[in-house]
Homo-oligomer: A and B are copies of this chain.
Amino acid sequence: MRRFVSYRARNLISTTTTSSLLAAFRFLSTLQPSSSDSMGSDYSSTPVTRDTLNPKVLNCEYAVRGEIVTLAQKLQEEIKENPGSHPFDEILYCNIGNPQSLAQQPITFFREVLALCDHPAILDKSETQGLFSADAIERAFQILDQIPGRATGAYSHSQGIKGLRDTIASGIEARDGYPVDPNDLFLTDGASPAVHMMMQLLIRSENDGILCPIPQYPLYSASIALHGGTLVPYYLDEQTGWGLEISELEQQLKTAKSKGIDVRALVVINPGNPTGQVLGEANQREIVEFCKREGLVLLADEVYQENVYVPDKKFHSFKKVSRSMGYGEKDISLVSFQSVSKGFYGECGKRGGYMEVTGFSPEVREQIYKVASVNLCSNISGQILASLIMSPPKVGDESYVSFSAEKEGILSSLARRAKTLEDALNSLEGVTCNRAEGAMYLFPRINLPDKAIKAAEAAKTAPDAFYAKRLLNATGIVVVPGSGFRQVPGTWHFRCTILPQEEKIPAIVSRLTEFHEKFMNEFRG
């Protein structure tokens, strides 16, 4: 019946304009039960059900945007619609490394160059001199000259614009002191697609394993699940500041092999996410030796390379470490991931990044290139930004002083925030927290009373998720339960970013402290 009416409606109003058509449709819709209503509220006549989806998708989990965040969004709506409905007046998102969502300002020089590349028509106008710094204008000209036809709106080479790769290569050379081939660089929409690309290449079946740290950034478990492989866990040692022990790698590799798993790669996140440790160079050399000895690809997540907050630690890339050991291109297979989303710039929304791929034969490289080609190229603004973060203003450039001030301001503030939050967490009953030497997170351990664990069981939720949900409902603070990152069984944690604005940190500390005391009083037993 509905179909008949609608058919007629279409014929009746076929000569009207679009907007009156829409109005007519809406009017007719009021005259009859909608198709949805007549079908009932179910989707029984649609072909796809949850049970007929790819089971690899069903198996995949990504806690950073999981249940707690959905609840937070709901609470945010409720506060907006009904102020005073909760014991807090804003949601404090400490769940995700997304600095600019928490009012961190973009680096001026980077945005100047991006804007000029987006609209090169203004480069020659006199007003532009008054609006943009001279070195930003010069840099925009340089970048445009590197783009064939100055076409910032064209698909680029599948690996990214060659001139930008040259710039990035020089930046890595300046960082590491070893040569870089621009043809080893694949520019990507952030680091995540690069990680997926490597997983897609390496994983053939559930018999292929990838060694991943536990706790891990859940992109890895999600990507391995989506590609149908097996995550082979190795545990970081919380007692030694989330130390990475070679004996643990060896033990887990042996166990995996005994189960028939072909372990293909080792993921190392340095600085660590969610754990915040910065690896020492000697430790890195052991890791390189381990990969070499065991024939593993080393997948080095180095997206937090500019986020180091303690004077006794320094970031060393695995490329530099392996080259310093004398291992050349053909001795070790190493992929280093970098992103514009992290560092002091935190340009998450730009989706820029790259991977440096070394130690793969030309035949294998050809396959990596092919997979990159299927998606044509990464976004050009992200490509440009990736070149900028690897070649920021230098001494003498007009922007250098203001750029350095912005950079220092952000990094020193992050260091202070990390320390304040770490101290606050360590002052809580039953909570221990390693320092955030780098990255953007603290990952405190909470020793929950038995009664809390039982209450969580009754609520059919993990004890740390139970704690995180309670925290959110009481304070508006959003953290991610440790179970989303995996952890030593029987231990409970949460991940909390160090990113809220510095002036909000005292309030977070006091709200968290008050909540925790009440929680412990309630469940101490």
CB closest chain-B residue, reference A20: B177
Is A460's CB within 8 Å of the partner chain B? no
Stretch of A127-135, A269-277, A409-417 contacting B (4+ beta carbons < 8 Å): A127-135
* A46 in contact with B347 (CB, 8 Å): no
What are the residues of chain B within 8 A of A19 when measuring CB–CB? 174, 177
Given contacts A57-B201, A331-B35, A371-B57, contact A326 B119 (CB under 8 A): no
Q: How far is the CB of A182 from chain B (nearest CB, A)?
A: 15
Q: How far is the CB of A41 from chain B (nearest CB, A)?
A: 8
Q: How far is the CB of A494 from chain B (nearest CB, A)?
A: 19
* B119 in contact with A125 (CB, 8 Å): no
Number of copies: 2
What are the residues of chain B within 8 A of A100 when measuring CB–CB? 149, 151-154
* B379 in contact with A43 (CB, 8 Å): no
* A6 in contact with B329 (CB, 8 Å): no
Q: How many residues of A contact B (CB 8 A)?
A: 132
What are the residues of chain B within 8 A of A101 when measuring CB–CB? 148-149, 151, 154-155
A350 to B227, CA, bound (A): 27
A222 to B371, CA, bound (A): 9
Could you tell me which A residues sit within 8 Å of B by CB distance?
A: 2-7, 10, 18-19, 21-22, 25-26, 34-36, 39, 42-43, 45-50, 52-58, 60-62, 64-65, 96, 98-103, 106, 108, 111-112, 114-116, 118-119, 121-122, 125, 127-128, 130-132, 148-149, 151-156, 158, 173-179, 189-190, 192-193, 196, 200-204, 219, 222-223, 226-227, 264, 295-297, 323-333, 341, 346-351, 359-361, 363-364, 367, 370-371, 373-382
When A and B form their complex, which 8 residue pairs have the shortest distance between CB atoms, in order from nearest? Answer: A35-B328, A3-B326, A21-B177, A6-B326, A115-B119, A43-B361, A101-B154, A349-B380
